[in-house]
A and B are shown apart, each in its own frame.
Chain A
Amino acid sequence: MCLGIPGQVKEIYEMNGIRMGKVDFNGIVKEVCLAYLPDIAVGDYTIVHVGFAITRLDEQSALETLALFQSIGLLDEELRTDAAEEEAA
């Protein structure tokens, strides 16, 4: 139920007094209610749940999380390499 799908905002307009828009989910474009994201702009990414955009996806945070995943284990590997080198010396 709480499934949310990431998509990119392609178009913003008003319908029946509600802020609506078109959101592209990897090629599938659907109409989505944007009323809860008054600041979202065309080109931004959002998470959509039951036809409503509930949050803006933050590119900076996304990149930081991925960088964190990349770095996990590396420090440990380096420390182990250092220890091995010290032992060898």
Chain B
Amino acid sequence: MKYLDEYRDPELAQRLFAEIRRITTRPWAIMEVCGGQTHSIIRNGIDQLLPKEIELIHGPGCPVCVTPLEIIDKALAIASRPNVIFCSFGDMLRVPGSAKDLFRIKSEGGDVRVVYSPLDAVRLAQQHPDREVVFFGIGFETTAPANAMAVLQAHRLGLRNFSMLVSHVLVPPAISAIMESPTNRVQGFLAAGHVCSVMGTWQYQPLVERYRVPIVVTGFEPLDVLEGIRRVILQLESGRAELDNAYERAVRPEGNVAAQQVLSEVFEVTDRAWRGIGVIPQSGWRLRDAYRAYDAEARFAVGDIQTRESPICRSGEVLQGMLKPNQCPAFGKECTPRTPLGATMVSSEGACAAYYQYGRFIKAEEVGVAR
């Protein structure tokens, strides 16, 4: 398949591995921000084939994993209502709330539907004018333009029965939070390619300067990931901290300007709680006042939500790169993709799910992966 197979070539991958081995002289800790990259790394065994000096720290770039428990519980409360059609990306259905998940609500008779695109939810609202259609609007900057367009389209069509439960998160404030954490070990970042396709690369220059940390915009195929790692190491080994783009075929410095215009029309920046991490200032988007009529939180009074996290789940530490998934005592025992205790075991982008799916059951230190 064009633009995919070329970036999976094993022979070129060997060359990149050899080059990375050649240029690496010291230990370095690099964070891949995006959960899609985490999956590519674990699926292809990249972390195990890198020189032992290089540690990959898995970042918080899994929107399903960081959507706050309170919002999940609100989703469950709204989806339980008899007149509601609750639409979501499939990943969200198994994410554990305090007591249930969306699958359970569906099995108890709630009308919960998986949609591919937020525009599918708008179409459902057109088809069912007597029902309330609610879309679960989560995601990073990559997904936000689609959700913003759904709100605009509902507005244009005059749909009064469409609303969105919005919990958008942003990458640059998360990088700041990681760099400012007293326990931070990250020395270089692979920035999330598709987030930058939308937002451009300019937001990252101030971070490079403020924290003197290399940031390389990186794609998702194995060769893309290896090239991102190679470029970060080149900078680290020579004492440089620069913004670099290793995913030029899909990322322009200015990003997608048309998408950015719609984003700033529909959303405004707000403080946001990240599940397992806590509140990160100015790290999310919410609907602007002009579109508040489409805000599901305002439309459905769900009352007081008392949240309760699993007492043994350590996904917060996993999301902050402080713990590898298979170092968690519950990993593969109490916690599996069928019986997840935390969202990181659910999402196709969650680090715990990746480790489980690709058989990383052995304690990481036994194979020398984590240090």
A: which residues have CB within 8 A of B? 1-4, 6, 8, 16-18, 25-26, 33, 35-38, 45, 47, 49-52, 54-55, 57-59, 61-62, 64-66, 68-70, 72-73, 76
Report B-chain residues with C-beta under 8 Å of the C-beta of A52.
Answer: 117, 145-146, 149
Interface size on B, residues (CB 8 A): 59
Tell me the nearest residue of chain B to A52, going by C-beta.
B146
Judging by beta carbons under 8 Å apart, are A1 and B349 in contact?
yes
Judging by beta carbons under 8 Å apart, are B15 and A55 in contact?
no
Report A-chain residues with C-beta under 8 Å of the C-beta of B22.
Answer: 73, 76
Report B-chain residues with C-beta under 8 Å of the C-beta of A64.
Answer: 248
Report B-chain residues with C-beta under 8 Å of the C-beta of A8.
Answer: 2
Judging by beta carbons under 8 Å apart, are B259 and A47 in contact?
no
Judging by beta carbons under 8 Å apart, are A36 and B259 in contact?
yes
A10 to chain B, nearest CB (A): 14
Judging by beta carbons under 8 Å apart, are A2 and B117 in contact?
no
Does B362 sit at the interface, judged by CB under 8 A?
no
Count of chain A to chain B residue pairs whose CB atoms are closer than 8 Å in the complex:
146
B179 to chain A, nearest CB (A): 21
Report B-chain residues with C-beta under 8 Å of the C-beta of A55.
Answer: 194, 197-198, 250-252, 256
Docked pose: A62 CA to B223 CA in angstroms: 12
Does B116 sit at the interface, judged by CB under 8 A?
yes
A76 to chain B, nearest CB (A): 7
Instruction: Name 10 interchain pairs, CB-CB below 8 A, sorted by A.
Output: A1-B35, A3-B349, A6-B3, A18-B149, A49-B142, A50-B89, A51-B146, A61-B249, A72-B16, A73-B18
Docked pose: A33 CA to B348 CA in angstroms: 24
A89 to chain B, nearest CB (A): 25
Does B301 sit at the interface, judged by CB under 8 A?
no
Tell me the chain B residues, 7-44 only, with Cβ under 8 Å from chain A.
9, 12, 15-16, 18-19, 22, 34-36
Tell me the nearest residue of chain A to B139, going by C-beta.
A1
Does B63 sit at the interface, judged by CB under 8 A?
yes
B262 to chain A, nearest CB (A): 8
Judging by beta carbons under 8 Å apart, are A57 and B117 in contact?
no
Judging by beta carbons under 8 Å apart, are B18 and A1 in contact?
no
Q: Which of B16, B63, B256 is in CB contact (< 8 Å) with A36?
A: B256
Judging by beta carbons under 8 Å apart, are A57 and B140 in contact?
no
In the A-B complex, the 6 residue pairs with the closest CB atoms: A51-B117, A55-B197, A6-B3, A61-B248, A62-B249, A61-B249
Report A-chain residues with C-beta under 8 Å of the C-beta of B146.
Answer: 33, 49-52
Report A-chain residues with C-beta under 8 Å of the C-beta of B256.
Answer: 36-37, 54-55
Q: Which of A25, A37, A54 is in CB contact (< 8 Å) with B142?
A: A54
Judging by beta carbons under 8 Å apart, are A65 and B227 in contact?
yes
B271 to chain A, nearest CB (A): 21
Judging by beta carbons under 8 Å apart, are A72 and B15 in contact?
yes
Docked pose: A25 CA to B230 CA in angstroms: 30
Report B-chain residues with C-beta under 8 Å of the C-beta of A50.
Answer: 89, 116-118, 139, 143, 146
A1, A49, A52, A70: residue with the most chain B Cβ atoms closer than 10 Å: A1
A2, A4, A68, A73: residue with the most chain B Cβ atoms closer than 10 Å: A2
Asked, given contacts A1-B347, A1-B349, whether A37 binds B258 with beta carbons under 8 Å apart, the answer is yes
Does B192 sit at the interface, judged by CB under 8 A?
yes
Asked, given contacts A45-B3, A64-B248, whether A33 binds B349 with beta carbons under 8 Å apart, the answer is no
Judging by beta carbons under 8 Å apart, are A54 and B36 in contact?
no
Judging by beta carbons under 8 Å apart, are B140 and A1 in contact?
yes
Report A-chain residues with C-beta under 8 Å of the C-beta of B16.
Answer: 69, 72
Asked, given contacts A57-B249, A69-B12, whether A2 binds B61 with beta carbons under 8 Å apart, the answer is yes
